[in-house]
Amino acid sequence: MDQTVSFLLTAIIFVLLIGLLILIHELGHFLAARRAGIVVQEFAIGFGRTLWSRRRGDTTFSLKLIPLGGYVKMLGDQDASSFSRFTAGKYDPADKTFAIAELKKKGINPETDAFHKVEQFMEEQRSAMKKDDYAKLQTWYAKDYIPNHPGNYDNQPILDRALVIVAGVFMNFVLAIAIFYFMFLFTNFSVDLVRLGNPVFAGAETSDVPFLFDVYDEDSSELAGSLIVDAEGRRFVTRDEFETLLQENYNEPMQLQIFTPDGYRDVTLALNGDGVLTNFDEDVAGKVRIVSTTEGMPAAEAGLEPNYVILSFAGEDVTTVSRMLELLRENQGGTADIRYVNAEGDTEETMLVLPEVEEGQPILGAGLGENTGYLDGIVRVNYNDNRLLSGVLHTFNMTAYTVTGLGTLISSSIAEGCIEPVSQGVSSVVGVAGIINELVRLRDFISIINLAGLISVALAFANILPVPLFDGGNLLFLIIEAIRKRPISEKKQEIIGTVTFVLVIIFMLLIVFKDLFPDFTSSLIRGICGG
């Protein structure tokens, strides 16, 4: 794909994705507020200069220049943060008399007319009225009319305010459910995920993901390093099912969809048959694989190289690394035949001269591993037995996976005494844009749909955390208010909000810096950690 087209498509998808997530989240707050009888003054997508706006009733709907956020400004808010609020206060009664008289001249009754009529009157008088007279009007408006208005957020019961707060999170979960249902229509109700720990997925079956580590046919060798998405039109829940298909198609080319470093491809390839075809061939599957060699040691001296597969050693077929190590110890100080499959798929045999070594010292000089056909770091999750509930179940599972995954990263950081695992596990909007750009390059639009669902889940989870400025922080303040029978003071809330705002901005800037300069940041963190 042309770089310019790729960049433009990435930008469009990124803006639409972020915009959709914010729109749905704020829509939840808006609908819940309207249902509770709260006056919503503004429904905004983005921040900064207003590009477009339109008023309907009491609400101004607006689109801002920077599409990286949004807000619902409810009556009682002095600004979009909701921390600065209008509160009732003492003032000269003459100011109220003056304000009511001025409103009456325009045929406006503040007790019965809609809020936007009074608001529009105030806007008109800002430039039309003398400064001292407008100050009287503003005093009544800020210290009496807004704080005591029945549509003020602060005048609603605690339960109604709580529902307004959690409505945004709820809508993000609903959006995730809808996105996952849509995605499953194209993926046969299964999805591949990075494995973190030992996850359990409610209502789903899981399996390892087949991977082409080796393709020995010279004409198809470029397919090595590809993930098998499906074979013969099927995805697999268990290794046994895939192994059965391999046996059924012995020496027969199979229709495969694979994911290569350059994107998805549909290919025809025999995986198992006469000779050695791929790492799934029964001649090499489950054998011992040479992962690395050390110069000057017996393996390297005999011409063995990484990715060679050991078939037998000292006349014995070898199927496990542990048995191979036992045979090396038994034959040290002598010679032993080794039969193996090289990188071209040819079977060769050679003689090894093994040194006598002290306990624990290397004999062969090679790193060994199982010649597997599956990726340890990826798990395939299948909802075919629960298609009707697949979107709901996957949203629940991804929420739990977010929590357990974060716990795994934190545990790793604690164990290593370094913040690097956590820093590598979080991304800013810059990181998200980079992921979208790579997926666009690969034309992997299904993964972009999946990413949208995952971000919606992550946004819901992050917002419900008890952090001031987030929905969870506002909910925590309400819980404290319910317990104390009175709210936290205005001044304390403002101080908490300001401090949190500064800390959140610093955190976001650090994550953005990490995403912009990943190599430098990783080296810096390792240096600080003493790595």
Quick one: average pLDDT of 3-23?
A: 89
Domain limits, the chain: 3-79, 93-151, 288-371
Per-residue pLDDT tens over the stretch 278-320: 999 999 999 999 999 999 999 999 999 999 999 999 999 999 9
pLDDT at 254: 93
As beta bridge partners, residue 338 has 313, 350
Which amino acid makes up residue 460? A
pLDDT at 443: 81
- DSSP tag of 283: T
d(CA 416, CA 411): 9
pLDDT at 106: 92
pLDDT at 523: 73
d(CA 191, CA 391): 12
pLDDT at 520 over 90: no
d(CA 190, CA 186): 9
- Strand order of the β-sheet with 226-231 is 190-194, 374-382, 205-212, 226-231, 254-260, 263-269
Which amino acid makes up residue 356? E
Which amino acid makes up residue 25? H
* Fold (CATH) for 288-371: Pdz3 Domain (2.30.42)
- Residue 195's CB is within 10 A of a number of other CB atoms, namely 16
pLDDT at 81: 63
pLDDT at 530: 63
pLDDT at 270: 93
Range among 232-246, 429-443, 475-489 with highest mean pLDDT value:
475-489
Quick one: average pLDDT of 133-153?
A: 94
Per-residue pLDDT tens over the stretch 439-463: 888 788 899 999 999 999 999 999 9
Q: Can you spell out the DSSP letters for 267-278?
A: EEE--SSSS--B
pLDDT at 77 over 60: yes
pTM: 0.84
